[in-house]
Amino acid sequence: MTLRLELRDGSIRELPVASWHGPATAGELALLGELPAPVLDVGCGPGRIAAALSAAGTPSLGIDIAPAAVRCATESGAAALCRSVFDAVPGEGRWGSLVLLDGNVGIGGDPVALLRRCRELGRSGARLVLEVDPPGVPGGTTEARIHTADAEPGPWFPWSVVSVDDLEQLARAAGAELLGVTEGDGRHFAQLEFGGTRRVGPEWGTIAVIAKTPVPGRVKTRLCPPCGPRQAADLATAALQDTLAAACAARAGRRVLVLEGEAGDWVPQGMEVIEQATGGLGDRLQALFETLAVTGSGRGHGAVVVVGMDTPQVMPEQLEGALDVLCNEGTDAVLGRCPDGGYWTIGFDAAVMERGLRPFEGVPMSTGETAEAQLARLGELGLGVAL
């Protein structure tokens, strides 16, 4: 059988079906011999890897969503089950190693979520072997479909391209350590190690404060009267300084002031300053998260939490807690609600923004219904939210 994978850009990849049905290669066997048992083969296909492990006396299991593939795997002598990796899997949390070969890291279009699921399945210190594209191949999420020789192309489905160049960031986002990359049989294999049940600490997150320079006549204008412009600006300055102090005291990999206006000597040392985008608050928040994700703070630091300048009561522990939920509990978003119907903080795992989602679209800002509308919008996007 001849199969080809077509990507949305029109490029075609020939799929090595014959090798999938053949025995494990010398390069694959060399990798498998080093893996701690038991081994879970994710997306086992016809079962050549699981069968090779079984033949070597290594406890192993293959899983695949295609019944025909599972039948082939069991006929080849492998233990295999028909199920998704995101379903209940025997031995959850106890696998010594997991294997993702033959492009399986790209299926579903979210390699970060896939690797995090592998982390959940493995025990502390579990190994993961995954096959990736060579260096220089542009990575990213797209769509793909399968072509066969005697049928119309199949439906489009999400697909991610992961190359050697993407591994460091992918490993960080999944809470893994990249041990190395080997090349064999003209293919590239990466080995990762998971550090245990916790993915990363808050030091892998980013805290951002969105603010405007406290200039008289431009801040806290709703307090005038009874306050004068200078009094209102002084109040805004004090609130902002307390908020920035909490952000600096919290454990985080990066602290960013997203500022409308000029920075002054009131900006704490070590606080990075970037220019705020224009538009409504929703537009500015969207731009903020997108900017932090593509500049490395997101993918490199796992999660981003934002607070406004009017949160002098916030404690460092609250900011750390929001990052901890995003970094370790597999949650897509966090939202800190206020009694007035708004919210004081919002945060996302970096993978959310990398997917091109627009979580603030259609959300009315600065109203008594803002938090409810924001929750509804996150629900529309299928995002898990911690409150």
Ranges of CATH 3.90.550.10 domains, the chain: 202-386
pLDDT digits (tens, 9 = 90+) for 166-177: 998 888 888 888
Tell me: pLDDT of 199 over 50.
no
Question: What per-residue confidence (pLDDT) applies to 203?
Answer: 55
Which residues neighbour 22 within 8 Å (Cβ) at sequence distance 6 or greater? 48
Identify the burial level of 29 via C-beta atoms within 10 angstroms of its C-beta, where 0-12 means exposed, 13-18 middle and 19 or more buried. middle
Global pTM value: 0.53
Q: ∠ at Cα 356 (282, 344), nearest 5°?
A: 35
Residue range 257-298, pLDDT digits in tens: 999 988 888 888 878 899 999 999 999 999 999 888 654 433
How many other CB atoms are there within 10 angstroms of residue 252's CB atom?
26
Domain 202-386 has CATH 3.90.550.10: yes
CA dihedral (317, 319, 320, 326) positive or negative: positive
Percent above pLDDT 70 for the chain: 93
Average pLDDT over residues 315-339: 86
Name beta bridge partners: 30. Answer: none
The yes-or-no verdict on residue 150 having pLDDT over 50 is: yes
First to last CA, the chain: 51
pLDDT at 196 over 70: no
pLDDT in tens, 31-82: 888 899 999 999 999 999 999 998 888 999 999 999 999 999 999 999 999 9
Contact call for residues 187 and 102 (beta carbons, < 8 A): no
Question: Which fold is adopted by the domain 3-194?
Answer: Rossmann fold (3.40.50)
Q: Quick check: 44 and 73 in contact, CB under 8 A?
A: yes
Q: Which residue stretches of the chain are H helix? A: 17-21, 26-32, 48-55, 67-75, 111-121, 167-174, 229-249, 281-294, 297-301, 316-328, 350-354, 370-380
Q: Where, residue-wise, is CATH 3.40.50.150 in the chain?
A: 3-194
Supply 82's token pair: 């028909």
